[in-house]
């Protein structure tokens, strides 16, 4: 596979949680700090972090990570219009030089460097432009999308991601078995967060 950029989406308001989920404590860091570390330690060629709500506060929380040479941070001032604006903002920064993007969500703490590299290797083996993680209920993030779909991604509007591509082009989709246990769970509420913390302490 040619160069692949990670688009780490972290611009949302976390309205269901009531405070920025990006700043939730996670180990010695925060939830976003954890996800960013996994991405930066991976074989992704570039990582674009897309911030929006309370962007400066969240960027400041990252400390030295925010100065990593592989990282570019983008502030999406249109974040209130939905996740599509963050995908478009990130894509604009990498489309000229990267033939694939991996979309990563900042509220999925099960994502690891190992999983990211596993997806990269499998996508390269299949020469695939649409890859997702296979989970018991179907497919999940992270997902990899190739250049042939950049045009459609750039036209996204509203609070939608790239799900329609996987529905409209099923013959081009490769679902990748994860390495180790992986349910593709995200954190939307405080109950989700506390439940996930309990699993870490078992």
* pTM (two decimals): 0.95
Instruction: Tell me whether the omega of the peptide bond preceding residue 142 falls within 30 degrees of 0, making it cis.
Output: yes
Adjacency order of strands within the sheet including 46-51? 71-75, 46-51, 4-10, 100-105, 138-146, 130-135, 173-176
Q: What is the pLDDT of residues 8-24, one digit of tens each?
A: 999 998 878 878 999 99
In angstroms, the CA 133 to CA 147 distance is 19
In angstroms, the CA 25 to CA 32 distance is 9
Residue 201's pLDDT is what?
47
Residues of the chain with pLDDT below 50 are: 201-202
Q: Tell me which residue has tokens 């000229």.
A: 96
- 46 neighbors 5 (Cβ within 8 angstroms): yes
Average pLDDT of the chain to the nearest whole number: 93
Residues in a beta bridge with 46 = 5
Q: What is the pLDDT of residues 147-183, one digit of tens each?
A: 999 999 999 998 889 999 999 999 999 999 998 888 8
User: 4-201 adopts what CATH topology?
Assistant: Spore Coat Polysaccharide Biosynthesis Protein SpsA; Chain A (3.90.550)
> Is 165 exposed, middle or buried (CB count within 10 Å of its CB: 0-12, 13-18, 19+)?
buried
> Is 130 exposed, middle or buried (CB count within 10 Å of its CB: 0-12, 13-18, 19+)?
buried
């Amino acid at each position: 596979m040619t160069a692949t950029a990670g688009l780490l989406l972290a611009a949302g308001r976390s309205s269901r949680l009531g405070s920025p989920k990006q700043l939730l404590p996670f180990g010695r860091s925060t939830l976003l700090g954890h996800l960013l570390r996994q991405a930066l330690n991976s074989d992704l060629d570039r990582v674009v972090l897309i911030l929006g709500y309370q962007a400066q506060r969240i960027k400041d929380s990252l400390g030295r990570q925010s100065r990593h040479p592989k990282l570019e941070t983008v502030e999406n001032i249109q974040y209130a219009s939905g996740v599509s604006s963050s995908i478009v903002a990130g894509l604009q920064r990498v489309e000229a030089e990267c033939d694939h993007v991996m979309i990563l969500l900042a509220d999925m703490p099960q994502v690891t460097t190992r999983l990211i590299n596993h997806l990269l290797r499998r996508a390269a083996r299949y020469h695939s432009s649409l890859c997702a993680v296979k989970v018991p209920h179907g497919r999940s993030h992270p997902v990899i999308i190739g250049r042939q779909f950049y045009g459609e991604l750039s036209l996204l509007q509203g609070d939608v991601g790239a799900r329609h591509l996987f529905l409209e082009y099923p013959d081009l989709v490769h679902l990748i078995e994860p390495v180790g246990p992986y349910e593709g769970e995200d954190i939307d509420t405080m109950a989700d967060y506390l439940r996930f913390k309990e699993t870490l302490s078992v």
